[in-house]
Amino acid sequence: MKDFLRRHLSIPAQSEDVPVYPADYFSSLPELETESLLLRKLCRSDAADLFAYSSDPEVTRYVLWEPHRSISETRDYLRYMRQLYRQGAPSSWAIVLKDENRVIGTIGFMWYALENQSAEVGYSLSRAYWNRGYATQALSAVVRSAFQRLPLYRIEAQHDLRNPASGRVMEKCGFSREGVLRGRIVNKGEHIDIVLYAILKSDLPVES
């Protein structure tokens, strides 16, 4: 685990690459690359790939949004994302599998609080690409970039208690489990227990 963190999450001892305004970061969403993935802004041409997995009830089972019933809903989502980019608001990257040039998921920020230097990250992935390490690659890339380039000290992530696989991804990326929030949210008509994870900038190894 320590080797993974040092390879994928270590940050420079002194980073000069911090935007003056967080909105600069969110409006441009820098492209991030891992061994298998490219993370970039979502665009109109991603609609078909996005709908292919967003319409899968298994993908949406533990997340806060319903399966897309038509590609029109997917296009509405893409329009909403582009609006967030223009506003410089927290938003999402497309997760692109480089070998196939296919969008297989999204990852991004649910919220960002400048006054507390904290944020929450979330992600979803096509069922055909589960259990291949792609979510771990994407999350580690986002965490490293955010800590390096934003005035940020804490990143939170949470998952439905019934979905421990998501927690394993967080743990691989250095997040610590902080507790279970009982009945924290209502999702799809049920009161859901949520597991809260977080990682601090001080948790990350520093490059020598």
In tens, the pLDDT along 117-137 reads 999 999 999 999 999 999 999
2-156 has CATH 3.40.630.30 classification: yes
Q: What residue segments make up the domains of the chain, in order of their start?
A: 2-156
- Tell me how far apart the alpha carbons of residues 53 and 11 are, in angstroms, rounded to a whole number: 33
What pLDDT is attached to residue 38? 98
The pair of structure tokens assigned to 66 is 């319903």
Spans in the chain with pLDDT lower than 70: 1-8, 10-20, 208
Contacts for 197 with CB less than 8 Å, ≥ 6 apart: 156, 157, 158, 159, 167, 170, 171, 175, 176, 177, 178
What pLDDT is attached to residue 21? 83
Q: Do 37 and 17 touch, CB atoms closer than 8 A? A: no
- Tell me how far apart the alpha carbons of residues 204 and 164 are, in angstroms, rounded to a whole number: 23
What pLDDT is attached to residue 205? 81
What pLDDT is attached to residue 143? 97
Taking residue 146's Cβ as centre, other Cβ atoms within 10 Å add up to 18
Q: What share of the chain is helix, strand, coil (3-state, %, to 5)?
A: 35, 30, 30
- Tell me how far apart the alpha carbons of residues 115 and 126 are, in angstroms, rounded to a whole number: 35
In tens, the pLDDT along 178-202 reads 999 999 999 999 999 999 999 999 9
